[in-house]
Structure 1
Amino acid sequence: MIFVVIISAVLIVGSIAYIVHLFHRDQEIRSKGRDIRALVEDVRYISSNDGGSANIKYRLSWHEDGVVKQVEGSDTISAFCSSKVQKGCEIDIKYLDDDHILFVFDK
């Protein structure tokens, strides 16, 4: 019984810590990230849910210091905003590094 309580506590604390980590990561990208206008070179919709969000894989590019910079990743976006992330469209992002990108849809 004590083992079950310990495992449950670890899972709860771990889940809360992960959520805090996600909020901290997003805040760091918002505060330290650069505003970039990127071209959507490729996007694939992986899945969606009843809550109104879609999981996507994407490839973005932009020109930086005379060189084309490309990044690939995956993210969950609102289904309402998914029409803005189509191949050939330009979108606004906050870019911290290749692993820390945030789509900006509030314009």
Structure 2
Amino acid sequence: MNDGIGLRYGDVHARGAPVVFVAIISVVTFGGGFFFLLHLFRRDQKILWEGRDVRALVEDVRHLGTNDSGSVEIKYRLSWSEDGATKQVEGRDTISAARSSRVQKGCEIDIKYLDDRNIMFIFDK
């Protein structure tokens, strides 16, 4: 049966286009997600292996939100002495609710410091 534009119903070109589009979108979505998770894993490993151990003072911490698993997103400002000067960094992180009590204003916390954008809280030593 002809639909008037030169394609017959059931023709590969008529039915295959949406399938190809969905396949491409699926590959991009899952591939992008996989590479993003790989990037996060590699970043964490780099911080663990190349970062310096620092004992930092929590100068400020703000609760930004809680996710479905009970983890808490915080915004923090930390400081420590380094080469006779005070080093300050700010950032955001998601930590478990059970550990959030250890990141309070005025408390000292162990961190791994690679640079101002790559910091990891160390809760278990």
TM-score, normalising length from structure 1? 0.97
Counterpart position of 2:101: 83
Aligned pair count reads 107
Deviates more, 1:77-86 or 1:46-55: 46-55
Counterpart position of 2:56: 38
How far, CA to CA, are the matches of 1:52 and 1:7 in structure 2?
Answer: 32
Q: How much is the aligned-residue C-alpha RMSD, in angstroms?
A: 0.8
How far, CA to CA, are the matches of 1:3 and 1:50 in structure 2?
Answer: 33
How far, CA to CA, are the matches of 2:70 and 2:46 in structure 1?
Answer: 25
Q: Larger relative CO (CA 8 A, sep 6+): 1 or 2?
A: 1
Matching residue's letter, 1:43? V
Matching residue's letter, 1:59? R
Deviation of 1:8 (Å): 1.3
Written as runs of structure 1 = structure 2, the 5 A alignment for 1:1-107 is 1=18, 2-107=20-125
Where has structure 1 moved over 3 Å in runs of 4 or more? none
Unaligned runs of 5+ in 1: none
How far, CA to CA, are the matches of 1:83 and 1:20 in structure 2?
Answer: 30
More strand by share: 1
How far, CA to CA, are the matches of 2:107 and 2:68 in structure 1?
Answer: 26
Deviation of 1:50 (Å): 3.2
Unaligned runs of 5+ in 2: 1-17
